[in-house]
Amino acid sequence: MPLGTLDRRAPSFFRQGPSALSQLVLYSALALFLMVADARFRVAEPLRKVVATVLYPAQWLMLQPVAMVDHATRYFQSLDSAQAQSDAARKQLTLLAQRAHQADQLGQENDRLRRLLDLRERLQVPAQAAQILYDTADPYSRRVMVDRGQDTGVLPGSPVLDGAGILGQVTRVYPFVSEVTLLTDREQAIPVLNNRTSARGVAYGDPVASHGGGIELRFVSANADVQEGDQLTTSGLDGVYPPGLPVARVVRVERRADSAFARIYCEPAAAIQGARHVLLLQPLTGQLPQRPEPDQPETAVRKKGRK
């Protein structure tokens, strides 16, 4: 081969291009520019949508086994939960049926005993349903308004209860609404009976207890037989509340050496903060016989005789 025909240039293997550092700086600047442009002007949004549309079928196919396993797991879990709830409901229904049968028997025995002892028949208390509208504007009281008033025959002093127990008492009656004072109001008091010991007492509202309101059983001797968990019901001695309605449960008993009375804190049986629908009962004052007038003092009789 002639010497003039030889390519005297360096092979491509030995050719020198941009350095690695220059390429890194260039590509980093380009990437930063693209990120800023996409963040400010959404230049890559159409490309992103196209890629997402193309890849969606593949993603859907890959997620199908996971979804099938998830649905199957939830299905079997729901079957187990439904079976457990069905068993619990069946047991509860059997227990309620047994209690209802026992209550019917006790009611019949009670009626027979009353007829045998020639006692008064149990008082029939009329009732009507109502709905709580809103709380009163006074932040220092525990009162609510219900949607029943004079037009439906609501009377002042009517007991108010929900599905769990006594909620309060009607204190003001307007033409179409009524004001109900809750048991946790500091000015509210209710005579109660301890179901375990049959001891009577008076429970007062304690709006500060547990930051949600409670009831305090006051003027109880420090050595009285009161325990945590005792159930308190209405005694019916005030002529307002029917006897036997749930009022509260004793949650804490404090006995101090420097006091003759115990501090007994109770939790209301009714949903004081969450009640929505309630029942208004007519007070028993209209069904009880009138109290006899007090006898005149002997001194007054003597003065009349001297005149």
For every residue of 81-137, DSSP letters joined together read HHHHHHHHHHHHHHHHHHHHHHHHHHHHHHHHHHHHHTPPPPPP--EEEEEEEEE-S
Q: Residue 106 contacts by C-beta under 8 Å, 6 or more apart in sequence?
A: none
Kindly report the pTM of this predicted structure: 0.58
What percent of the chain is predicted at pLDDT more than 70?
83
**pLDDT over 80 at 202, yes or no:** yes
**pLDDT over 60 at 11, yes or no:** no
Q: Report the relative pairing of strands 159-161 and 143-146 from DSSP bridges.
A: unpaired
Q: Residue 238 contacts by C-beta under 8 Å, 6 or more apart in sequence?
A: 190, 191
**pLDDT over 60 at 147, yes or no:** yes
Report which of residues 212 and 81 the model is more confident about: 81
Q: Residue 230 contacts by C-beta under 8 Å, 6 or more apart in sequence?
A: 194, 195, 196, 197, 249, 250
**pLDDT over 50 at 301, yes or no:** no
Under CATH, domain 127-286 is a member of which superfamily? Answer: Rod shape-determining protein MreC, domain 1 (2.40.10.340)
**pLDDT over 60 at 129, yes or no:** yes
Q: What is the mean pLDDT of residues 50-56?
A: 87
Task: Read off the pLDDT band of 132 (50, 70, 90).
Answer: very high
**pLDDT over 60 at 303, yes or no:** no
Residue with tokens 């509260």: 248
**pLDDT over 80 at 78, yes or no:** yes
